[in-house]
């Protein structure tokens, strides 16, 4: 990336236990509340979450947010 001045980062990780749209909404809301997060995309079938943020996220922050939503990183 040489054409942009931002350091936008996309991280992909797994979340265990999501089973429906409510789970997706809870995880999206909690992760979306982390400072710097710009977008959260949940793939329910794959149990994966893709997070776009303005800077690399601390995995501890992600884990805390996912836990707050009622799930755990897989």
For 10, what's the count of Cα atoms within 13 Å in the CB-facing half-sphere? Answer: 8
Q: Which of residues 6-65 bind Cu ion (CB under 5 A)?
A: 19-20, 22-23
Compute the least distance from the CB of residue 29 to Cu ion, in Å. 13
For the chain, first and last CA: distance in Å?
Answer: 30
- Run of H or E residues at 72: strand 72-73
Compute the least distance from the CB of residue 19 to Cu ion, in Å. 5
Compute the least distance from the CB of residue 18 to Cu ion, in Å. 6
- Residues near Cu ion, by CB under 5 A: 19-20, 22-23
């Amino acid at each position: 990336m040489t054409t942009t001045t931002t350091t936008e980062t996309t991280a992909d990780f797994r979340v265990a236990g999501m089973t429906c749209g409510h789970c997706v909404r809870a995880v999206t809301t909690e992760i979306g509340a982390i400072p710097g997060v710009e977008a959260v995309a949940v793939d329910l079938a794959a149990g994966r979450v893709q997070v776009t943020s303005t800077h690399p996220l601390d995995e501890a922050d992600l884990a805390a947010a996912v836990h707050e939503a009622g799930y755990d990183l897989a």
